[in-house]
Amino acid sequence: MLLDSAIMLLGLEAAAVSVLLVGAALGALLSAVASGCDVCRRGHGPAKSDPAPSPLGALWAATPGRAVPSPAGRAAEPGCVYLVGAGLGDADLLTVRALRLIQTADVVLFDRLISAEIRSLAAPGAEVHIARKVPGKADAAQAELNALGARAAQAGRSVVRVKIGDPLLFARGGEEICVYRGLGIEPVLVPGLSSALVAPLLAKIPVTHRGVANQLLIATGRDRGGRLPDLPAYSPSRTLVLLMAVGRLGTLFEGALAPLGFPASTPLAVIEDASLPTERQTVTTVAEVAAMHAARPFKAPAVVVIGRVVGALADAAVAAEARMLGPAPESLLRV
C-alpha cells in the first residue's frame, strides 16, 4: 500500500512538472507572438513575412496581469522596406499594422490615388513622395519610386511603400519585390483591403450569392499596352469585377462584352471613390453605360461590377428564396 501511494505521489509530481513545463513553453510562445517584431534581412535570404494577428497574441493580451505589447514594438525598422496595402482611401479602413508603419517610417512612398487623409498620417519629419503616375508615364514613375526606396533602404532608413488596395492585386507589388530582391532587400508585406471586394460590399452588392452567382472573376481594364485582357464567354452565374476600367466604359459592351455573349440587359454598377465622402454609386446595364459615361464621364478610382448580383438584394424573388433558406424573420423577434 505504501509503495502504491509513493508511486501515485511521484506520478502526480511528474504530471505537475509537465504542466509547468507546458505552461512555461506556452507563455514563451505567447510572448513571442505578442511581441510582433519584424525580421528584415538584407542579403541574408528571405525575411519573415509580416506576422498576422494571432489568437494566441490576443489571448496573451487578454490574460489578467499581462501587459499589452507597446505599439513602438511594431514600428518601421531601419533598413527595411515595407509594401503596405492602404485599402480604398478611408483611413478608418487601414489595418492597425499599416497605420503604425506609416506613422513611424523615415521615408513614405505613396501611390497617386492614396487619399489626402491617409497621406497626412506620415510623421512630420518623414520624407514623403507621391507617385507621378499618369497615362503613358507609369513605367517611368514606377522606376523613380523604386530608386527612391532602394537608396533610402541602403542608407539604413525605414521605407514604407503605400499602395492602394492590396499590394499584390493589380498593384505592381510583385514587380517591386523582384527589384528589391535584386538589391539584397527582402520586403515585408502588409495586406490591405482590395477595392475589388470592398467597393461592392459598401454598395451592398454581394459578389457571390446562392442561386445567383457562384463564381467571381477579377480583371484589370488595362493590360500591358493598354489592352483589355482576354475574358471568358458570358456565364449567368459569374460576377465580373473590373479594376482600372473607367476608360473602357464607352466601348465596353460593343467592343468586348457583346461578342462574348453578354446580354444587353446584364446589370452593371460603377462605384466611384468607394469609402470616401465623395463616393458615388451608379447602377445601369452593360448596354447603357456608354451613354451615361458620355453624358457625365465616370472618374477613377472606380470599380465596375457586372452580373446578376447587381441589384440582387433588391430582387423580390431572390429575397424570398433567401428567406426560405432560414427561419421566418418574424420568428427571430420572438422572446
299 classed as catalytic: no
133 classed as catalytic: yes
Query: In the chain, where do the E strands start and end?
Result: 81-85, 107-110, 127-130, 159-163, 188-190, 215-220, 238-243, 267-272, 280-285, 302-306
Max CA separation in the chain (angstroms):
97
Give the DSSP per-residue string, 276-321: STT-EEEEEETTTHHHHHHHS---SSEEEEESTTTTGGG-HHHHHH
Q: Which residue in 266, 262, 193 sits closest to 234, CA to CA?
A: 262
Rounded to a whole number of angstroms, the CA Rg of the chain reads 26
Residue written as grid cell 538589391: 183
Q: Which residue among the candidates 38, 106, 133, 166 is catalytic per the annotation?
A: 133
- Measured between alpha carbons, how far is 89 from 194 in angstroms, rounded to an integer? 11
Q: How far is CA 145 from CA 42, 100, 289, 303, in A?
A: 19, 21, 36, 25
Question: What is the sign, positive or negative, of the torsion defined by CA atoms of 277, 282, 286, 291?
Answer: negative
Q: Do 161 and 180 form a contact (C-beta atoms < 8 A)?
A: no
Q: Which amino acid is at 103?
A: Q
- Measured between alpha carbons, how far is 97 from 99 in angstroms, rounded to an integer? 5
> Catalytic residue positions?
111, 133
